[in-house]
Structure 1
C-alpha cells in the first residue's frame, strides 16, 4: 500500500445541510511529525500536514466548515447555504488526499460558508490564520499578508466581542497572536500594545512559553518601531 495513504484514514461524516453521508481523509495522530513552528505558531511537518484536512466539505451540496463546526444547523441556516452555495455548486469531492492548493480551496470555501452563517469571529480568524500559513508555504507574500490582515481584524473583534476560549487559542494565545501578526504586517505600535496586554495579563505566568516568546517579540517590535519612526523622520 502507498505509504502516504497508510498515514491517512477515512472518517465517516454526515452533512448537516443535506444529510448526505460521505467519507473524508484525516491524518493518523501517530503519523503527525511536527518539525518546527514560526513565531505566529505556523507549523511545519515532516510528511503529511494534518491542517490540510481540517475542513470537511460535502461533495453534494458544497457546505464546508472546520471539523469542530461541522455540526447541526437550524433550518434558516440550511436555507442560506442551499441558496448561496449549493445553487452555484457542481458536485466534486475533497475527500481524498489533499495537496496545498486543494487545502487552500477547502479553507476558502469554509470561510465563505462561515461568513454566510455569521459564525464567531474567533472561528473566522482561525480559518484565515491557516490560509495565511498556507500562502507562506507557497511563498506568496502578497496573499499571506492579505489573510494575516483578515486574521487581525477577526481576532480583534473576537477579543472585544466574545469570550475567547476555544480548543486551540485561549485569551493569552490570542493576545500574543495579535501582537505578532500586527508586527508581521508592519503595525509595530499596535504590536507593542498587544504584547503589553499579553505580558500584563494575570494568567501569563501559567503560559511560560508564551511569556518568554512575547518578551522576545516585544523587543523585536520595539526596535522595528524605532527604525520606522526614524525613517519617517528622515
Structure 2
C-alpha cells in the first residue's frame, strides 16, 4: 500500500536550515463533504493539517503558499521576536489535529509580527476554526469571529483576490461567517451584497448557497427580534 504522506524538503528563508515536513499525496485525498464556509471534510488523511511549514531550528512558521515570501527586515523581526524564545522542536512527522492547531497558531503569530495583510490573517484564523470544528470544540467560534473581522477589513482595504477568494465568494463567506456566529443582521446585509453582485450569475453554486443561507439568516433574525421584543 502506498503511504499517503510523503516527505518534502524545505529550506528555511530565515535561518537557511534544511528540514523535512510531511505532505499528503494529492492522489490520496478523498473528500467526504464541504461545509457552507468552504471547510472540507476528508476521508483519511486531511491535507489541511500539513499546510503550515514550521522551521524546527528558528521557529519561523507560515502557510506553504507564503513561506518563502519574507524580506531581510522580516527575517530580523522573526529572529528577535520568535527565534530568541524558541525551543527547538519538529512538526515534520504525522500531525494530530492539536499539533496542526499549534502550527497554525505559530503561523498566525509570525504573520502578526510581520504585519501581514488582514486577508492572510483571516485565512489562517478560518483554518484554525475548521480544525477546532473537527474536534467539536467551542473555540471554533472564537476563531470564526477573528476570521470574519479580518475578512471585513481585507474586503474594505485590500485588492482582490483575498487568498483564493474573489469578490463574490468573499462577500458570501463574510455573510456566512456572520450567520454561523449569530450575527444575523450583518449576515443578511452581506448576503444581500452577494446576490446583488452581477458577477454572481457566473457562479451558480455560490448564488444558490447565498440565497439559501440568506433565507436562513433572515428567519433567524426575525426570530431573534421577536424574542428580544418579548423579553
Distance 2:127 2:110 in 1: 16
Q: Mapping of 1:116-135 within 5 angstroms?
A: 116-135=113-132
Deviation at 1:164, TM superposition (A): 2.5
Seen in structure 2, the aligned counterparts of structure 1 residues 73 and 133 have a Cα distance that, compared at 3 Å, is same
Distance 1:188 1:71 in 2: 39
Distance 2:163 2:123 in 1: 11
Deviation at 1:21, TM superposition (A): 1.1
Tell me which residue corresponds to 1:137.
Answer: 134
TM-score normalised to structure 2 length: 0.97
Does residue 206 of structure 1 match 2:202? Answer: yes
Deviation at 1:170, TM superposition (A): 1.7
Tell me which residue corresponds to 2:91.
Answer: 94
Q: Mapping of 1:154-233 within 5 angstroms?
A: 154-166=150-162, 168-233=164-229
RMSD value, Cα: 1.1
Distance 1:173 1:131 in 2: 20
Distance 2:95 2:134 in 1: 15
Q: Is the 8 A contact 2:119 2:163 kept in 1?
A: no
Distance 1:52 1:160 in 2: 30
Deviation at 1:74, TM superposition (A): 1.7
Q: Which segment drifts farther, 157-166 or 208-217?
A: 157-166
Unaligned runs of 5+ in 2: none
SS in 1 for 2:132: helix
Tell me which residue corresponds to 1:56.
Answer: 53
Distance 1:150 1:205 in 2: 30
Q: Is the 8 A contact 2:123 2:163 kept in 1?
A: no
Does residue 66 of structure 1 match 2:59? Answer: no
Distance 1:54 1:223 in 2: 37
Q: Is the 8 A contact 1:122 1:164 kept in 2?
A: no
Tell me which residue corresponds to 1:21.
Answer: 18
Q: Is the 8 A contact 2:120 2:163 kept in 1?
A: no
Seen in structure 2, the aligned counterparts of structure 1 residues 29 and 166 have a Cα distance that, compared at 3 Å, is farther
Structure 1 runs of 4+ aligned residues shifted over 4 Å read: none
Q: Mapping of 1:24-39 within 5 angstroms?
A: 24-39=21-36
Deviations 1:85-144 (A, max 9, x none): 001101111111111011000000000000000111111111100111111111112x11
